[in-house]
Amino acid sequence: MKDNVSGLVVIETEGEIGLIRLAKPPVNAIGLALRTAIYEGFKTLQKDPAVRAIVLYGEGRFFSAGADIKDFGKADIQPTLPHILKALNDSEKPVIVALHGVAFGGALEVALATHLRVGVGDLRIGLPEVKLGLLPGAGGAQRLPRLSGLAGAIDIICSGRDVSAREALDLGILDRLAEGAPREAGIIAARDVLAGKLAARRTDTRDVAEDLAAVKAAKARLKAKRPALQAPLTALEAVCAATLPIDEGLAKERALFMELMAGEERAALVHAFFAERATVDIPEKAAHPRQIDRIAVIGGGTMGVGIATSLLIGGYHVDLIEAQSERVAQARAGVESNLAGALKRGKLTEQAHDAALAALDCADSLDAAGRADLVIEAIFEDMSAKTALFTKLDTICKPGAILATNTSYLDVNEIAAATKRPQDVIGLHFFSPAHIMRLIEVVVAKETAPDCVASAFALARKLGKVPVRAEVCDGFIGNRILTQYRRAADYLLLDGASFTEIDGALEDFGFAMGPFAVSDLAGLDIAKATRDRKAATRPAEERYSRVADLICDQGWFGRKTGQGYYVYEGGKQQGGNPGAFEIVAAERRALNLPKRSFTSEEIVSRCLTAMIAEAVRVLEEGIALRPVDIDAVELFGYGFPRHRGGPMHQADLIGPAELIRRIELYANDDPQFWQVPHLLRDMAREGRSFADLNGALTGHVTKGSTK
């Protein structure tokens, strides 16, 4: 017998064994249709008197990635997963599952409700719900502890981490490891169960011992490490319910799950999940990427070294070119140290580490660029130095080679014009440390060829990065928004909030560090150099805070000099710098500014509103394709708290009318800085949200002035 119910599962029998194969590409996500198909298939096999055991397995790369995340927030429709899993658990016929690839979330919950679990090949399992602002709500928080014990389950569920098949076996989550095809592994296990060689058992019949020490330690850890997050602590509460009788535990778990499902944290984290994947939808996606094997990176500073490391980890051959011969060895040492770090953190195997080292050549001559399929320039931010370099590269590089600049704000059109091949020139803006940060802004200049853009996206994906398409403007997407965020913080400081209050408010909102702590880390001298360069073009009417310049005048450049906004000892922050407090107070006196007080809420609102207003201008001008691309930039390049979803997601929560009200209110202080973008007024009038704008490419919405 073979039956394909709704094209989603295949039901067949092999002797006494009934088989259910999940067949919903690409990841067998368990939405309503697949749920229903599994349940119908299961009932069919239950009724078949010839079937004595039932095997579940998946086709494709994975058993299943879990519940269909696109369904979140929709009404529960029968048969729900808990309902189906109860039926699996209660089955008189043994139910066996053979897992391969991944079994995450709801998929693992399916497995936990069966009577025997086989892990095939290099399977990874996990309950990553907390990463989506949820907890396992289909019995996972009750059944996992019944197999692994309370402490093991708390660790897995509250962290959401992946677990290897070997570890899962050791923890008692899996009953057997196997190699080969999941179908055969499942059949062999089912036969062994029927022959009495392998014990199959209902998970629900097992007991869970209390473990007060593990619960207490987990609670303290979560509160210290992730105080802003609701899901991990709620998940802990759900796991603790596993010591109750199973029906009570299941009911409690489901109630907590539904609470989280309705919450903002869940919505933001799901938005972030899709944002990470949405940015590859670009106008150039049909173009065929060029072949890239060998890459030259020019510039052996921090950026060049980080980029080279990232490319080597991605499996490319890299020529790292540093013009100052005395600095070549230092550049190589930098890459070696980064690779050693990646090996230590388990990001690279020993073999991959050695292969990466062998694929690195360092030189002081540009000649090596002649062999490259892609050249990435990472020298200092100076237009004349960059144009001179690109003119040279034009003569050295082979036809069809892509010439990329890592500039963070300079005009890529001007750089392209320094060559006779502007169609091959593109911006690849990596973020420091480039081998760790996932964002790459792919800056498309006027004449950049579509296949050049497609190649940049293909490269970024191969590196495991999040590429976001940006058009040319000063600062592209991210640095443009950062500038306004920083200005809002600087104005708050002048107007009366202290830098510790501002940092504290934004850290409570979820940023790992507030803007002043970040400045200290990045080096106050670096930002000063940028300000000095731009001084000549700064509009005369723009409000300018001299505080950072005055701190630099003291020789305080932040963490590296032991003092900045904060004082540091042995690299550890010791609190606000009294000298910096005094500089701020003196500057207020000099400007005759009254010291106003701001609540944390208003501090966050002003900084966030400034970001949102600039993000809307970035959209209006077509610099970013969609709101979701802006969120991806902020989440993966600028440390915007993931559980807040990004500035555009926040903008939808606040709503255009309220944003306009806030901007108009703040404009009483500074009408030059606080201006309402046209698009925001249009959206308020038409009742549109930024999520609505994500549906189609929205670039060039209303090209032109926004003021």
Q: Of residues 17, 19, 51, 65, which one binds ligand CAA by CB under 6 A?
A: 65
Q: How far is CA 273 from CA 27, 157, 277, in A?
A: 15, 18, 7
* Sheet strands (E) in 152-250: 162-164, 176-178
Sign of CA dihedral 13, 17, 23, 29: positive
Q: Of residues 5, 8, 29, 488, which one binds ligand CAA by CB under 6 A?
A: 29
Catalytic residue status for 259: no
Question: Site map for ligand CAA, 260-279, x if CB under 6 A?
Answer: -----------------x--
Secondary element (H or E) of residue 567: strand 566-569
Q: Which residue in 441, 614, 620, 634 is the catalytic one?
A: 441
Could you tell me the smallest distance in angstroms from the CB atom of residue 563 to ligand CAA?
44
Could you tell me the smallest distance in angstroms from the CB atom of residue 86 to ligand CAA?
14
End-to-end, the C-alpha distance of the chain in Å comes to 69
Q: How far is CA 360 from CA 302, 349, 373, 396, 406, in A?
A: 16, 17, 15, 20, 20
Residue from 19, 460, 1 nearest 9 by CA: 19
Could you tell me the smallest distance in angstroms from the CB atom of residue 525 to ligand CAA?
40
Q: Which residue in 28, 159, 310, 479 is the catalytic one?
A: 479
Q: Of residues 1, 50, 70, 344, which one binds ligand CAA by CB under 6 A?
A: 70
Segment interacting with ligand CAA, rule: CB under 6 A, options 99-107, 345-353, 396-404, 533-541: 99-107
Burial of 414 per CB tally in 10 Å (0-12, 13-18, 19+): middle
Residue nearest to ligand CAA (CB): 105
Cβ contact 34:76 at 8 Å: no
- Residue ranges in 535-594 that form contacts with ligand CAA under rule CB under 6 A: none
In the complex with ligand CAA, the residue whose CB is nearer, 401 or 628, is: 628
3-state percent helix, strand, coil for the chain, nearest multiple of 5: 50, 15, 35
695 binds ligand CAA (CB under 6 A): no
Residue type, 241: A
Quote the radius of gyration of the chain (alpha carbons, Å). Answer: 28
Residue from 9, 642, 517 nearest 264 by CA: 642
138 binds ligand CAA (CB under 6 A): yes
Could you tell me the smallest distance in angstroms from the CB atom of residue 276 to ligand CAA?
8
Catalytic residue status for 408: yes
3-class secondary structure, 625: coil
81 binds ligand CAA (CB under 6 A): yes
Residue from 304, 286, 285, 284 nearest 445 by CA: 284
* DSSP one-letter code for 420: S
Q: Of residues 41, 58, 94, 105, which one binds ligand CAA by CB under 6 A?
A: 105
In the complex with ligand CAA, the residue whose CB is nearer, 105 or 289, is: 105
In the complex with ligand CAA, the residue whose CB is nearer, 134 or 472, is: 134
Q: Of residues 69, 187, 362, 416, which one binds ligand CAA by CB under 6 A?
A: 69
Residue from 498, 507, 669 nearest 597 by CA: 498
Q: Which residue in 429, 435, 643, 649 is the catalytic one?
A: 429
In the complex with ligand CAA, the residue whose CB is nearer, 190 or 278, is: 278
Q: Of residues 41, 58, 66, 564, which one binds ligand CAA by CB under 6 A?
A: 66
The size of the interface with ligand CAA (CB under 6 A), counted in residues, is: 22
446 binds ligand CAA (CB under 6 A): no
Could you tell me the smallest distance in angstroms from the CB atom of residue 39 to ligand CAA?
15
Q: How far is CA 422 from CA 186, 208, 235, 403, in A?
A: 57, 66, 54, 9
Catalytic residue status for 479: yes
Segment interacting with ligand CAA, rule: CB under 6 A, options 103-111, 285-293, 442-450, 569-577: 103-111
In whole angstroms, give the CA distance from residue 416 to residue 391: 9
CA dihedral 556, 437, 409, 292 (to 10 degrees): 140
415 binds ligand CAA (CB under 6 A): no
Catalytic residue status for 429: yes
27 binds ligand CAA (CB under 6 A): yes
Could you tell me the smallest distance in angstroms from the CB atom of residue 373 to ligand CAA?
25
Residue numbers at the binding site for ligand CAA (CB under 6 A): 26-27, 29, 62, 65-70, 81, 102, 104-106, 128-129, 132, 134, 137-138, 277
Query: Looking at the annotation, which residues are catalytic?
Result: 408, 429, 441, 479
